């Protein structure tokens, strides 16, 4: 059985882009690309205190996360999402970390 993977993608807004731009592009990325991808389990987008963001995506396995990353390179919705971010297009993997999920806890019912 494969180990679940948590992807942590650091995001800085591109010059002239706003959080509203990020959220709109994120919604399109989710609806037009991520939903239905093999191995996709869930996603959270968070704002850090310093004004940067982290996209937290859960995958069933590292192999599935890697395959989707490759497909994203030719996705229009992914391209629009990436266009609101500041990064080196030749080093897209920088700022992205894949971590094995050791344990997950939810809220307990009282």
CATH code, 61: 3.30.70.100
Predicted structure pTM score: 0.89
The DSSP symbol for 92 reads T
Express each pLDDT in 63-109 by its tens digit. 999 999 999 989 999 999 999 999 877 776 788 999 999 998 989 87
Residue 20 located in a structural domain: yes
Residue 106 located in a structural domain: no
Name the residue range of residue 40's domain. Answer: 5-100
Residue 105 located in a structural domain: no
Question: Does the pLDDT at position 24 exceed 70?
Answer: yes
Q: State the burial class of residue 30 (Cβ atoms within 10 Å of its Cβ: 0-12, 13-18, 19+).
A: middle
Per-residue pLDDT band at 54 (split at 50, 70, 90): very high
Per-residue pLDDT band at 110 (split at 50, 70, 90): low
Residue 109 located in a structural domain: no
Q: What is the mean pLDDT of residues 54-69?
A: 96
Overall number of domains in the chain: 1
Residue 107 located in a structural domain: no
Closest C-alpha to 59, from 34, 27, 82: 34
Strands (E), the chain: 5-11, 40-47, 53-59, 96-100
Closest C-alpha to 77, from 26, 8, 15: 26
Residue 110 located in a structural domain: no
């Amino acid at each position: 059985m494969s180990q679940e993977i948590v992807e942590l993608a650091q995001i800085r807004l591109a010059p002239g882009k706003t959080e509203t731009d990020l959220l709109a592009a994120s919604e399109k990325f989710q609806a037009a690309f991520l939903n239905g991808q093999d191995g996709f389990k869930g996603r959270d987008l968070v704002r850090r205190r310093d004004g940067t963001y982290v996209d937290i995506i859960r995958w069933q396995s590292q192999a599935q996360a890697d395959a989707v990353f490759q497909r994203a390179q030719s996705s229009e919705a992914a391209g629009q999402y990436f266009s609101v971010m500041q990064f080196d297009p030749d080093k897209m993997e920088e700022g992205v970390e894949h971590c094995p999920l050791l344990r997950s806890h939810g809220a307990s019912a009282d």
